[in-house]
Amino acid sequence: MIGSKLGNPAFAPATIRVLPAAADGSIRMEVSHAGGVHRFTFQKAAPHVLALWTRPDGSSLKLRKSLRLDYWNHHSPGDEKLLE
């Protein structure tokens, strides 16, 4: 079962630090809290899409593909091919 009710989230102190830009110009940040350090890398060009998220447990999420579509013009049968 999947639900959207989190309950009462507990807020905890955290520190946000902007790191020097990477060699490719991407924007890097760290968020440190009691559970560890999360590292985020955003693309240099606007809208600064999240490209990589490394979590304290060593796992990471990397963006494979990003689409910017004028979705209001793509509502006909067959337009789903744009999402492949």
Residue 10 within any structural domain of the chain: no
Query: In sequence order, what are the residues at sequence separation of 6 or more whose Cβ sits closer than 8 angstroms to the Cβ of residue 14?
Result: 31, 32, 33
Residue 39 within any structural domain of the chain: yes
pTM, entire model: 0.74
Residue 19 within any structural domain of the chain: yes
Residue 43 within any structural domain of the chain: yes
Residue 36 within any structural domain of the chain: yes
Residue 70 within any structural domain of the chain: no
Element holding 62 (H helix, E strand): strand 60-62
Residue 59 within any structural domain of the chain: yes
What is the 3 state secondary structure string of 24-47?
CCCEEEEEEECCEEEEEEECCCCC
Q: How many domains does the chain have?
A: 1
Tell me the residue range of the domain where 33 lies. 15-63
- Which tens digits make up the pLDDT trace of 41-64? 999 999 999 999 999 999 999 999
- Which tens digits make up the pLDDT trace of 1-35? 566 777 787 889 999 999 999 999 999 999 999 99
Residue 78 within any structural domain of the chain: no
What b/e readout covers 48-69, taking b as 16+ CB neighbours within 10 angstroms? eeebbebeeeeeeeeeeeeeee
